Amino acid sequence: MITLEEFLKSLTEQIRCVKAREGVAHELSDHILDQAQAYEKSGIEHEKAVEMAVREMGDPVEIGVSLDRIHRPQIDWKMILLTFALSIAGLFVIQLMYGPERPSVFGKQLIYTIAGFAVIAGVNFVDYSIIGRFGYAIYAVLTIAFWIGRMLLPTMNGRVPAMSMLVYLYLPAFAGVLYRLRRRGYGAVMKSIIVIMATTLFVLVLSDSITVVLNIFLICMLMLIIAINKNMFCVNKKYMKIMTAGIALFPFPAAVLYFSICGAAYQKERMHAFFNPYRYETSYGYIYARIRDMLQGAKLIGPGTGADFSNELTLNSGLIPLQLIYSYGLIAGAVLLALFVLFVMRAMKIVRCQKNQLGILVSASCFLVITVNCLEGILMNMGLCPVTTVSIPFLTYGGSAALVYAVLIGLLMSVHRYEKVITADTSEYQPKWRIQVRLEKR
């Protein structure tokens, strides 16, 4: 009669994906031993009970072949198709907006897009579980690389524009840090908040952008709430979620209140200009007034009516959707918006389908970066959000934006690729190297 070990060996040999074998063997072993325990309660000896449970499972080869069809890497063709469609749409829009006056912009963006697809393909085939095993190390390496980049990369008005995007790579690394802190109680939640505060401080110094700082702070806190909700820290979920949500939301009204009362005169004027742009049309309200004028003058199809201020807005690539709507109509903007909605929904589905905790955290970090920047860009183009530096996926030109979004999309696809391969056990597995020395007598 076949033993449990022989049964599992024969079964796992049929599974071609080596990464999946350990998790499958562990799950089946637990199932067989649970069934054997049920037999033991009826008075059957342990060895006989295990033998009966193994026999009840059936043919290990047949089971292994059927499991091989399930536990294998999968390609997310829908995400690939949406990424390709949005990349082509982004290149098309950039050519329409900048082609006549700045032909070099399209050429550079084409190169960045092709390089981005190469990065997506590379990251897609990487086992994302390394983020869980080496979360702290990845975080430290990124910090060192960012400080070096801040010293070496080109500056503009005292800032390093590329850093405003590159610092978003902290978020997948933070997913690894959260994963390493799981099952450690309230102390781990406090440590997570300390890491968030340190990350926020680093981002402030590296990017010199309050918007980026607030975005990353908000995303980190949302990731912490997700981890608490999934009971990763073994704490009172209701209490800790309320506390974490309060910490996450506090900076936004606090910042508004501070600048309203203690801010400099120009800061107060900027706030007032956002709510009443035509009153401050000659100063800080000018761009908000132009946004409203262009939206009011937009038609369903074709160029809008009234004065065209598109050329004055080309310096802010975050306003490309507004320029598209004014130049080609609301329907063109609606088509672009529909593509973004489909893309975000696909990313959300990847997050929701994850069973293991690391997959949830890594995919959520990528999804939140993409969603927050898309939402911020849409609101800004509708005049519902202060104009700031925002990097809308596929529409913001530049190498740093293309690189960061390529890494995030690649990680999303990697999480989906190994969705049925990596389990909680395999994501914690660390290879152990053993050196054997044999002494032979001649």
Same-domain pairing of 31 and 101: no
Same-domain pairing of 99 and 54: no
434, part of any domain:
no
Same-domain pairing of 415 and 266: yes
Q: Is 190 buried (19+), middle (13-18) or exposed (0-12) by CB count in 10 A?
A: exposed
The closest alpha carbon to 365, from 207, 138, 205, belongs to 138
440, part of any domain:
no
Q: How many domains does the chain have?
A: 2
Backbone dihedral region for residue 228 (phi beyond 0: left; psi -120 to 50: alpha; all else: beta): alpha
pLDDT over threshold 80, residue 440:
no
Q: Is 127 buried (19+), middle (13-18) or exposed (0-12) by CB count in 10 A?
A: middle
Whether the CB-CB separation of 218 and 203 falls below 8 Å is answered with no
> Which pLDDT score is estimated for 96?
79
Same-domain pairing of 27 and 125: no
Q: Which of 21, 48, 70 is the last residue of a domain?
A: 70
| Lowest mean per-residue pLDDT among 121-130, 265-274, 392-401, 427-436 | 427-436
**DSSP label at residue 263:** S
- pTM of the full structure: 0.83
Same-domain pairing of 273 and 258: yes
> Which pLDDT score is estimated for 59?
81
Mean pLDDT along residues 99-108? 76
176, part of any domain:
yes
Give pLDDT tens digits for 16-25. Answer: 777 777 777 8
Return all residues near 265 (Cβ < 8 A) that are at least 6 apart: none
Same-domain pairing of 63 and 90: no
Distance from chain centroid for Cα 392? 14
271, part of any domain:
yes
Q: Is 396 buried (19+), middle (13-18) or exposed (0-12) by CB count in 10 A?
A: buried
Bridge partners (DSSP) of residue 156 are 159
The closest alpha carbon to 363, from 424, 411, 407, 403, belongs to 411
Q: Which of 40, 70, 100 is the last residue of a domain?
A: 70
- Token pair, residue 48, equals 């006989």
Average pLDDT, the chain: 84
229, part of any domain:
yes
221, part of any domain:
yes
Same-domain pairing of 197 and 85: yes
Same-domain pairing of 60 and 82: no
Same-domain pairing of 47 and 89: no
Whether the CB-CB separation of 96 and 328 falls below 8 Å is answered with yes
Whether the CB-CB separation of 185 and 234 falls below 8 Å is answered with yes
Same-domain pairing of 175 and 286: yes
The end-to-end CA distance of the chain, in Å, is 45
204, part of any domain:
yes
Same-domain pairing of 316 and 237: yes
Same-domain pairing of 297 and 164: yes
Where b means 16+ CB within 10 Å and e means fewer, 230-239 reads eebbebeeee
Provide the residue range defining the domain that includes 20. 4-70
Distance from chain centroid for Cα 45? 51
